[in-house]
Structure 1
């Protein structure tokens, strides 16, 4: 009886361990997805041999339920922009529609803002978080571009140039109606954001990393109070963007 009870306990613990482990679908760039099962902690995932060539500053990991929320929020943002453009005329409406089209072209996910660098995960126990549930992980090599988005006339990827500042990249495009003139936002590949002075009177030399987004938002008080917190909502979507 005691042996049978012990065997039953071991079986139960084994089942609990399997239940608690995460299942991760890995999306390498230009390759077929991989499935990683039984990963109980983040270290079990980021130390997988097939991921050794990944550029971790740009990797994105998301959780299934959080992804559903992020996608709903993104769709609501697109709807909000459509409604705002319908209330404006000519250049203003065209500028808002440009931003909407840019955002409609991206896909978002429920990004988990955690450290993915294998060395940091191994060295610091606090970074080795448990994995439980369904996750997606996007990995790839270091990008060679930065992406301009927002109220600019030529959005899209631009070649990354070492030493080139945010203001330098913006000097190569024109601002659309309602665009902020004094500040831009950098969305770094790891999801961090930084508000950056870019006008002649406050310009500061800030260099984006490869893979960053430079977002030129709506200027404050340009339109009505209906635009309050719009830049924040756009930045939330940009931090949750699935890498190209």
Structure 2
């Protein structure tokens, strides 16, 4: 049974006798080639492995094979949509859209399963230890020392993480590109949580991203066309489903 979002859903649909153990490819920074874990019947059989005891779980990503196919299709559709929008615009607006497309083209996405991977939570939280069935991939990376600024900004890329620093200050040295949202930015946390954060002088609040977060400056609302409707949501989907580097 695949992990989707609610483990309780699986418990109502299948019985333990119907479960078959999953196979997981585990990617770590220690090796370019993944290690394969077979016969993982439940999530704790994976995240409770002694060799993973010192992992940084907030940034770990587990994905399921069929969900990955869907995520990759959505990402390709997003890139195609941005290409089409850029073709309908001219000048600075077209250049801004192409800049965002290039940033998103550089990331790889997967069928991320939105479950807590911290072994302590898996053990004690109700429905936190769902069964595994099928083929999965798990990515574990060291805790980063940077945050990444993306979107309609003049200087996208990784920036040093500073404890206590608020999200808006990471944008102080940025110029916003044509069509950018100027009052809000989004923070995508390593565990796939997202938060819309006020960053303008009139509404700014102190919100601190954690290491490994993405700060995304999206597209402003367009009152005269529906061509951009849902675009920020689609981009955030790709950012929450990206494979850790």
CA contact under 8 A between 1:21 and 1:132: conserved in structure 2? Answer: yes
Distance in 2 between residues matched to 1:73 and 1:98, nearest whole Å: 19
CA–CA distance in structure 1, aligned partners of residues 19 and 182 of structure 2 = 52
CA distance in 1, matches of 2:143, 2:163: 14
Whole-angstrom CA distance in 1 between matches of 2:20 and 2:220:
47
Deviation above 4 Å: which 4+ runs of structure 1? Answer: 16-19
Decide which moves more: 91-100 or 22-31.
22-31
Match of 2:11 in 1: none
Report the count of equivalent residues.
229
Distance apart, 1:224 and its partner CA = 2.5
Measured in 1, the distance between the counterparts of 2:77 and 2:146 equals: 29
RMSD of equivalent CA atoms:
1.5
- Residues 1:176 and 2:177 aligned together: yes
Deviation at 1:122, TM superposition (A): 1.1
**Counterpart mapping for 1:71-150 below 5 A:** 71-150=72-151
Match of 1:224 in 2: 225
Indicate the residue corresponding to 1:163 in structure 2. 164
Partner of 1:8: none
Q: Deviations over 1:73-125 (max 9, x none)?
A: 00000000000000101100000000000000000000000010000111124
CA distance in 2, matches of 1:42, 1:233: 28
Report the alpha carbon displacement of residue 170 of structure 1 after superposing the two structures with TM.
Answer: 0.8
CA contact (8 A) 2:19 2:131 kept: no
Per-residue deviation, 1:222: 6.7
- Give the match for residue 28 of structure 2: 28
How far off its partner does 1:18 sit? 11
Q: Where is the helix percentage greater, Structure 1 or Structure 2?
A: 1
* Higher alpha-carbon Rg: 1
Give 5+ residue unaligned stretches, structure 1.
1-15
Q: 1:55-70 counterparts in 2 under 5 A? A: 55-70=56-71
CA distance in 2, matches of 1:93, 1:212: 27
Taking structure 1 as reference, are residues 72 and 107 closer, same or farther at Cα in structure 2, changes over 3 Å only? Answer: same
How far off is 1:136 after superposition? 0.3
Q: Residues 102 and 209 (structure 1 numbering): CA distance in 2 closer, same or farther, change over 3 Å?
A: same
Could you list the runs of 5+ residues in structure 2 that have no partner in the other structure?
1-15
Contact 1:146 1:158 in 2 (8 A): yes
Pick closer, same or farther for the CA change 1:223–1:110 going to 2, 3 Å: farther
* SS of residue paired to 2:185: strand
CA distance in structure 2 between the partners assigned to 1:25 and 1:19 by the alignment: 19
Once the 2 structures are TM-superposed, how far is the Cα of residue 19 of structure 1 from its aligned partner?
7.1
In the alignment, the residues of structure 1 paired with residue 182 and residue 204 of structure 2 have an alpha-carbon distance, to the nearest angstrom, of 11
CA separation in 1, counterparts of 2:18 and 2:84?
A: 47
Residues 37-76 of structure 1 show CA distances to partners (whole Å, capped at 9, x for unaligned) of 1100000000111111210000000000000000000000
